[in-house]
Every structure is written in C-alpha cells, then in structure tokens.
A and B are shown apart, each in its own frame.
Chain A
C-alpha cells in the first residue's frame, strides 16, 4: 500500500487486550494521499472459535464498494484477538462504519440471534 499514510496514533496505542469485539470503536485517520488504511482488532469472547464477517457502511447503511479488507471473514480463536487491516480511497472527509458480525447461534428452536459491533471512523485527507 504505497503512499498510504497511517496516522492513527491513538488507535495504535498499546494497551492491555481486554475482552472486546472490536477495538478501537472510533477514530480519525489523516492521510496526505488519496488512500487510507487503518488497523483494527477483533476479539472473540466466546468459548469457540468464530468466523466474524466484516462489512463497511456509510452513514445511511449503504455498503462501500471502495473500502476493503484482505478477506471478508476473519477467523478468531476463542478468547483471542486478531488484527486486521481495512483500506480504501480517501475523500476530503468521509465517515466509515466498520462492522464485525458473529455467526448466528444455532442452539435455539426457531429464533437465532447474532451479535454485531460497529465502529465509526472518520477519514480526513490533508492538503491537496
């Protein structure tokens, strides 16, 4: 990802990895180029390994086509966290909602529930 500036010092601040579904939940990415990238961590609080789905939405709930990750699904062992990268095109200012979604739980009879955590990130292009 040549030319991509990641200036998300607060987001990369090292801290103890408490149980969490997505960290950080908010942030601002500043870039001097027309691209951005950010690193997030997904935590699996469940006792079984999980395949979390990743999705990227705008504020209206529409999916972004120009925001992507290496894979649409991340595999997270039980009780562990996995870092993943998200990148895309940077506008002068754009807001991206990144959601990590667990599979549906199948132990019920009739109604399945799944969890989803969505963080909110502002992408700011400096200069230009």
Chain B
C-alpha cells in the first residue's frame, strides 16, 4: 500500500512535468494578429477617348460634338497621393503637316472620393481615400490654318504621385 502511494506520487510529479508550460502558467492569453496596409495607388485606364473637330476645323477636342473623354480610375489606400494629367507634346498619329503650330492642353474631372472639375494639365490635385473616377479631356488648337483631313491620335498621361 505504501509502495503504491510512492508510485502514485512519482506519477503525479512526472505528469506535472509534461503539462505544457503555457497552459500551466496562465488560464487566458492573447492571440496576436499581424497585418500591414501598404500605401498604394492604382491607376487603371478604363477607356480611351475620341476627339472631334470644331466647326472651323481649328480645334480637335474631346469637348466638341462627337468627341468623348477618356476614362480612368484611381484607387488609393491613403490620402497621401495627388493626381495630375500631362499635356500632350504632339500627336502620336496624324496626317502630314497636321501638327504645325499646334498647342495642346489636357484637363481632368473627378468623381467618387475626389471631386475635381476640369483641372488643367500640370496641376497636382489631392486624391481622396478610396475609388476616384476620372474623365480625361484633351484639346489641340491650331495657331493658323485648319487641321487637314485624316486620322488623328493624341496621347494623355494620367499620373498618380506620392505627395
């Protein structure tokens, strides 16, 4: 009987040694969650536009009848970003002689978490947090003469910049 009690005591001590330390030390604990949120800006061009001439053929613009603005979205995860559009420096495709004495301008309007109305090229505008939808317009103006007949393409860049 005494021998059995000694064996039982030893088993009790051994059992105690094998109980996991954490479970023995405390009855509750914190579960840690790790995560990170990157400061990001996504520019997604969703549609190119159309340019059309004015009545006197001295302008080609997305703002004239038959024209349409290009579209893009910007998604941000913070308010640390600005948006701007660049004025084109030339047609990327045009009939011969079409780019003589031409000036270019671009403009952008925004809706969603950012509200902008026809902000001209080169101007940085702060973006809101989340999804912004952009309408991008462009106008090419001829200083003298008229635009010749033919197919035209004009490039515009939408830029998201860390502010």
Contacts and interface: CB of A to CB of B under 8 A. Distances in A.
Nearest to A26: B162
A19 interface: yes
Contact of A15 (B36, B44, B68, B69): B36
A101 B80 contact: no
B18 to A, nearest CB: 36
Given A112-B48, A118-B160, A15 B38 contact: yes
Given A25-B162, A26-B162, A115-B44, A110 B38 contact: no
A119 B162 contact: yes
Contacts of A99: 159
A109 B50 contact: yes
A26 B80 contact: yes
Q: How large is the interface on B (under 10, 10 to 19, 20 to 34, 35 or more residues)?
A: 35 or more
B153 A112 contact: yes
Contacts of A15: 35-38
A25 B75 CA distance: 13
Contacts of A120: 161-162
A18 interface: yes
B155 A46 contact: no
Given A111-B50, A111-B51, A111-B62, A117 B159 contact: yes
B42 interface: yes
Q: Specify the main secondary structure of chain B where it touches its partner.
A: strand
User: Considering residues A22, A26, A99, A114, which has the most beta carbons from chain B within 10 angstroms of its beta carbon?
Assistant: A114
A123 interface: no
B128 interface: no
Nearest to B158: A115
Contacts of B155: 104, 111-114
Nearest to A43: B42
A105 B49 CA distance: 10
Nearest to A10: B36
Given A43-B42, A105-B47, A108-B50, 19 more contacts: A18-B77, A22-B41, A24-B39, A25-B81, A26-B39, A26-B80, A45-B42, A104-B48, A107-B47, A108-B48, A110-B51, A110-B62, A110-B152, A111-B48, A111-B154, A113-B70, A113-B158, A114-B158, A117-B43
Interface of B: 35-45, 47-52, 60, 62, 67-72, 75, 77, 80-81, 92, 136, 138, 152-162
